[in-house]
C-alpha cells in the first residue's frame, strides 16, 4: 500500500468576492502599509481577505457589505498593531484620516473603501482637522508622534510604489 497526499482541492471563489478583492485590495494594502512594514502589510491583507471570504455569505447579506467587510479587515489590522497617534477616539474618523491623509486615497476612494458616503468622510476629516488645529494636551501614544506619522506615510508610499513596479 502506497500512501500519497493528494493535492488540496482548488477553491472556486465567488465571482462577487473576486471583484470585491480586485477593487479594494490596493486600498486595504495602503491602509495596512500605514501601520506595518511592507512584508507584514502584505501578510496582514492576505489574512484579512481570508477572513472576509470565510464570512462572505454573512457579509453580502448585510445591508452595507462594503462597510461590513471593512470592519472585518480593520479588526485584523488592529490585532497586529497599535493605532497611530492621530488624536482621535472615533474609529471611522481614525480610519478616514489614515486612508486619506497618510495612505493618500481620495475622499471618494476612502468612502468606497470604508462603505461610507463621501459627505460623511468629508465631515470626519473636517472635524479631525478642526480638533487638530486646537492645542492638545500631551499624549503618551508616542515620544515623537509627528515622526511616527511621517514614518507611517513613508511606509504607505513605499508600499504603493513597490506594487506599481
> What is the domain partition of the chain in residue ranges?
15-164
- What is the arithmetic mean of pLDDT over 102-123? 97
* Residue 149 pLDDT: 61
The more confident residue out of 124 and 159 is: 124
**Residue 90 neighbours by CB distance under 10 Å:** 13
Q: Is the per-residue pLDDT at 140 higher than 50?
A: no
* Residue 87 pLDDT: 86
- What is the arithmetic mean of pLDDT over 140-148? 50
Q: Is the per-residue pLDDT at 138 higher than 80?
A: no
Q: Is the per-residue pLDDT at 160 higher than 80?
A: no
Domain 15-164 listed as CATH 1.10.3470: no
**Residue 85 neighbours by CB distance under 10 Å:** 18
Indicate the pLDDT class of residue 6, thresholds 50, 70 and 90. Answer: low
Indicate the pLDDT class of residue 163, thresholds 50, 70 and 90. Answer: low
- What is the arithmetic mean of pLDDT over 89-99? 96
Calculate the average pLDDT of the chain.
85
In percent, the amount of the chain with pLDDT more than 70 equals 75
Indicate the pLDDT class of residue 11, thresholds 50, 70 and 90. Answer: confident
* Residue 119 pLDDT: 98
pTM as predicted:
0.78
The more confident residue out of 41 and 136 is: 41
Amino acid at each position: 500500500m502506497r500512501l500519497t497526499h493528494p493535492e488540496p482541492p482548488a477553491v472556486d471563489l465567488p465571482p462577487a468576492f473576486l471583484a470585491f478583492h480586485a477593487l479594494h485590495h490596493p486600498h486595504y494594502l495602503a491602509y495596512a502599509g500605514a501601520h506595518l512594514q511592507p512584508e507584514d502589510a502584505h501578510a496582514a491583507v492576505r489574512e484579512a481577505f481570508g477572513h472576509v471570504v470565510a464570512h462572505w455569505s454573512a457579509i453580502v447579506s448585510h445591508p452595507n457589505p462594503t462597510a461590513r467587510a471593512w470592519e472585518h479587515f480593520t479588526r485584523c489590522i488592529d490585532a497586529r498593531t497599535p493605532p497611530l497617534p492621530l488624536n482621535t477616539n472615533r474609529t471611522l474618523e481614525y480610519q478616514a484620516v489614515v486612508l486619506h491623509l497618510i495612505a493618500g486615497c481620495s475622499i471618494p476612494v476612502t468612502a468606497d473603501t470604508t462603505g461610507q458616503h463621501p459627505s460623511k468622510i468629508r465631515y470626519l476629516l473636517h472635524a479631525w482637522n478642526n480638533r487638530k488645529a486646537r492645542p492638545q494636551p500631551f499624549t503618551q501614544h508616542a515620544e515623537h508622534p509627528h515622526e511616527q506619522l511621517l514614518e507611517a506615510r513613508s511606509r504607505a508610499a513605499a508600499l504603493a510604489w513597490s506594487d506599481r513596479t
